[in-house]
A and B are shown apart, each in its own frame.
Chain A
């Protein structure tokens, strides 16, 4: 049961144009959503996040949009640069309750390989 889905395994965009990466989720308990970027042979690095009480968050060239009713979020990169070529993971955060304590957990999508062509 995939709670976070990225349906596009790959995306190619021309340098300078907009890149739009999409993500869908099913669990209503998620209250934060994140995008991570991953280069080969490196761990994922945090890119941008959004709280479930907002519908947009912007950081430089990166904007994340959240549509709660559709359980859908997207990452826009404008303008796209060759250095943006990487795998992008969508992740959703929820609180995990256990007898040992409570803490946050991330559930990841399967990733989208973005290639920005010069």
Chain B
């Protein structure tokens, strides 16, 4: 079974530029998550999709971050414009979804450096 795919793996940009990350979840997984992991901290949930609808985006800085999940499969996360404090690893995860407990599977992450 293929895992969660993310690209690019690394990205370096200057502040005020824009950047986009892509995620392809495990086939059949209804729920998709984007996390931000700053060095020395645990992953922090930014946005959660169930199929192509947003379940929770309360911690997404909506003035600069946006995300979409078209057709309930792949997802993109965009930052525009980027700030220095956005330097972090952006993790995508997926799960079968619903309220029954099931495991979240993580992709390898995209390491973003904002100069």
Residues of chain A lying within 8 A (CB to CB) of residue B4? 43
Q: Report yes or no: A110 in contact with B99, Cβ–Cβ below 8 A.
A: no
Contacting chain B: which of A14-22, A63-71, A74-82, A89-97? A89-97
Q: Report yes or no: A101 in contact with B50, Cβ–Cβ below 8 A.
A: yes
A87: nearest chain-B partner, CB-CB? B42
Q: Report yes or no: A110 in contact with B42, Cβ–Cβ below 8 A.
A: yes
Residues of A within 8 A of B (CB): 4, 6, 9, 31-32, 34, 36, 41-46, 49, 51, 89, 91, 93, 95-96, 98, 100-111
Residues of chain B lying within 8 A (CB to CB) of residue A96? 48, 55-56
Residues of chain B lying within 8 A (CB to CB) of residue A32? 101
B21 at the binding interface (Cβ < 8 Å): no
Residues of chain B lying within 8 A (CB to CB) of residue A104? 31, 95, 98-99, 101-102
B72 at the binding interface (Cβ < 8 Å): no
Can you spell out 24 A-B residue pairs with CB atoms less than 8 angstroms apart? A32-B101, A36-B106, A42-B108, A43-B93, A45-B106, A49-B103, A51-B101, A89-B42, A89-B43, A96-B48, A98-B55, A101-B55, A102-B55, A103-B31, A103-B56, A103-B99, A105-B56, A106-B45, A106-B104, A108-B42, A108-B43, A109-B42, A110-B41, A111-B41
